[in-house]
Structure 1
Amino acid sequence: MSQKVLKTKWKKSIIFRIILAVLIVVVIIFGSLWNRYINKNSLISIYKAPSGQEVYLLGTFHSMHFNKWVNYSMEDLLNVVENLQPDIIFIEAREETFEEWGVVDGPIDMALIYAYSKDNNIPVEMIDWWVVDNDSKANTTNDKRDDMIFSKIKTKLDLINSDLKVLVVCGSGHFYQQSKRFAKNYFERLKLGKKANYFTSNGRIFSYPTSVQSVWEKRSYFYAYTHPALIKQNESLSDEIKKQFISEDPAAFYRSQLRYNELFSNDLLYEEKR
C-alpha cells in the first residue's frame, strides 16, 4: 500500500474521530441542558421558610405546555397541585390588576392554576410585579422584577400561619431566580424524593377546571383592549414603547388568545400545528 493511500486513510480516520468527539460533546451538552432546564423533574423543589412554612416551588413553561415534545403538560401541572394538596397557592400574576380589573394577568398556566384553585376553594395569592415604562421590553424579566417577586413571597409568608403548606408557581426563568433568592435568604432546601411521582395522575381522569374558560376570556380581553388603552393614554411613554404593547389588530389578537378555550372545552392537552 502506497504512502499516499495510507496518509489519506489516516486523515479520514482523524476526521471521523473528531466528528465523533464533537457529536458526543453535543449530546452530553444537550442532555445536560435538557435535564437542567426542560426536564419537569428539575422544576420542583421544597424549602422550609424562615417563617416556618413548607414551601414548594414549581417552575412552568406557560403556553409551551401545549407542545407535546416538552413532556410537561397542563395535566402534569394540575397533578402536582392535586398530589400536594397545598393550603395556599402563590401564582405569577399581579395583585393590583386582579383587584382593579378582576383579571388574572399572568400567563395561561397561571390562569389554569387560579381556576383550579377557585373551583376547589384553595386560597390564592398573586406575587408578580412589573410595570410598563420607557425601559420596558415586552415578555422579558430582570433582576428588579425577581427581587420584587421574592419580596412579595416573603411578605405573604410572614402574614400566614407557620404550619401551612405553600405552593409557589412561576415560570421556569423565575423558578431559578427565586431558588437563588431563597438560598440567600435562609430558606432551608429540603430533600424531595421521587419527584416524578408528583406529576402522576394516579388514575384520575383529566379535565380542565370548570372556570378556566371564563378566567382566560377575561385575561384575553384585558390584553387585547384594556391594557393597550391604558398604555395609549399614558403620556409619559414613548411611541416606541407603546408599539410593543399595542396590537395593530386587537380583534385578531383577542381571537388568537381565545383559541385556547377550544382546548379547554374539549379537554385537549396539546395544540395541533397550524
Structure 2
Amino acid sequence: MQVKKRHKIRNAILLSIAGVLLVVVTVGGILWNRYLNKNSLITAYSSLQGREIYILGTLHDTHFNKLAGYSMEDILSAVKNINPDVVMLEARADIFEEYGAVDGPVDMSVVYAYCLDNSIPVELIDWWVVDNTYEENKTNGRRDDEIHNNIILKSAAYSDDSRILFVCGSGHFYEQAKRLEADGYSKMRLTARADYFKNPDKDFRYPASVCDVWEKRAYFYAYTYPEIVDADETLSEDIKKKFTGGNHDGFYRQLMKYCKLFESDELYQ
C-alpha cells in the first residue's frame, strides 16, 4: 500500500511539473511570436485617401545577437522591399535639429544612414523628456500618443498616395497599430511576410555613412546629454546621476565598438 501511495504522489508531482512546463512553454511561445518573431513585427494600414503606413518593429541591440534570428540585414532588406516614399524613425527631431544626433537606439542610426545614402526622406518622430518621473528604457501612454500625433502630422506633408514606413521598437509596434486603427486606418493584408526580409542584393553591406551617424549619437549620449541634464535645475540628483554618473570615456568607447562591426560588415557581435 505504501508503495502504491508513493507512486501516486510521484505521479501527481510529475503531472504538476509537466503542467507548469506546458504553461511556461506556451506563454513563452506566445510572447516570442508577439515580440521577437520578425514575421509578426511587420504590418500596414491604409487611409481612405490611399496613403499606406507600414510599421516595422525592431529589437534594437538584440539584432546583433544571432540567436534572435532577426538581423540588421533583415531590417534593411525590409526597407528596400517596402520601398517607402519616406521613413519615420524612433528618434527625436528636436535633438537632431540642435545637436545633429539621431538619438534613438542603434538600429535607428543604421536605418537613418541607409536612407541618407539612398536619398530617402526621413522624419524623426519620437518623443520623451527627462523629468523627475523618468524611468530608463520604459515607455508610457503619453509617449505613444505623442509618437502617433507626430506620425499623423508629418504624414500630412506627403501626398495622399504616399507609402510611409515607420521603424520603431517592438514595444511601440502594437501601440501604434492600435492608434492607427482608432484613427480610421484599415489594416492591409500582407501576404508572404517573410519575403519582406529577403535581401534583394547578393551581399550585405552596411550603409557607407553609418559610422559617422553613430559617432554623433555616441558622443551626444556620452558627453553632451549628461551636461544638458546636469544643468537642469528642476531635476533631482538621483535623476541626474542616471546620466552624469559613470565613466563617460569608457561609455563612449563601448558605444563605438559597433563601428568595428559596421566597418567589417559583420552582423553579429
Classify the TM-score, shorter chain: over 0.9
Contact 1:65 1:73 in 2 (8 A): yes
CA contact (8 A) 2:88 2:164 kept: yes
The Cα shift of 1:118 comes to 0.4
Aligned-partner Cα distance in 1 for 2:103–2:132: 21
Q: Give me the whole-angstrom Cα distance separating, in 1, the residues matched to 2:47 and 2:237.
A: 44
What does residue 187 of structure 2 align with?
Answer: 189
**Aligned counterpart, 2:2:** 4
Structure 2 residue corresponding to 1:100, chosen from 98, 101, 125: 98
Tell me which residue corresponds to 1:153. Answer: 151
Is residue 175 of structure 2 the alignment partner of residue 177 of structure 1? yes
TM-aligned CA deviation for residue 51 of structure 1? 5.2
- Name the SS of the counterpart of 1:254 in structure 2: helix
Range moving further from structure 2, 44-53 or 146-155 = 44-53
TM-score (norm 2): 0.96
Where 2:57 maps in the other structure, the secondary structure is: strand
Choose from 38, 49, 53 the match for 1:55.
Answer: 53
Q: Identify the residue that residue 84 of structure 1 maps to in structure 2.
A: 82
Note the C-alpha offset of 1:89. Answer: 0.3
Q: Give secondary structure in 1 for the equivalent of 2:25.
A: helix
Moved more, 186-195 or 17-26: 17-26
Question: More displaced, 197-206 or 215-224?
Answer: 197-206
The partner residue of 1:222 within 200, 220, 236 is 220
Structure 1 residue 17, shift from structure 2 partner:
2.3
Task: Give the counterpart of 1:46 among 31, 44, 47.
Answer: 44
Structure 1's unaligned 5+ residue stretches are: none
Contact 1:247 1:253 in 2 (8 A): no
Alignment correspondent of 1:121 = 119
Q: Map residues 64-83 of structure 1 onto 2, 5 A cutoff.
A: 64-83=62-81
Q: Is the 1:137–1:244 Cα contact (8 Å) retained in structure 2?
A: no
Shift of 1:101: 1.2
With structure 1 as the length reference, what TM-score do the two structures score? 0.94
Amino acid at match of 2:33: N
Corresponding residue number in structure 2 for 1:263: 261
Q: Shift of the alpha carbon at 1:73? A: 0.6
Deviations 1:20-67 (A, max 9, x none): 222222221211111111111111001003553111101111111111
Cα distance in 2 for partners of 1:231, 1:14 equals: 58
Question: What corresponds to 1:254 in structure 2?
Answer: 252
2:135 corresponds to which of 111, 134, 137: 137
- For 1:10 and 1:51, how far apart are their aligned partners in 2? 66
**Distance in 2 of aligned mates of 1:139 and 1:29:** 23
Structure 2: runs of 5 or more not aligned? none
Amino acid at match of 2:179: R
Return the alpha-carbon distance in structure 1 between the equivalents of residues 245 and 87 of structure 2. Answer: 32
Count of matched residue pairs: 269
Identity of aligned residues (%): 49
Secondary structure of the corresponding residue to residue 127 of structure 2: coil
8 Å contact from structure 2 (residues 49, 161) kept in 1: no
Deviation track 1:76-117 (CA, whole Å, cap 9, x = no partner) reads 100101111111100011111111111111110000000000
Structure 1 CA distance, aligned partners of 2:48 and 2:245? 44
Q: CA RMSD in A?
A: 1.3
Q: CA deviation at 1:4?
A: 2.2
Match in the other structure for 1:14: 12
Q: Distance in 2 between matches of 1:97 and 1:22?
A: 47
C-alpha contact (below 8 Å) 1:51/1:157 kept by paired residues: no
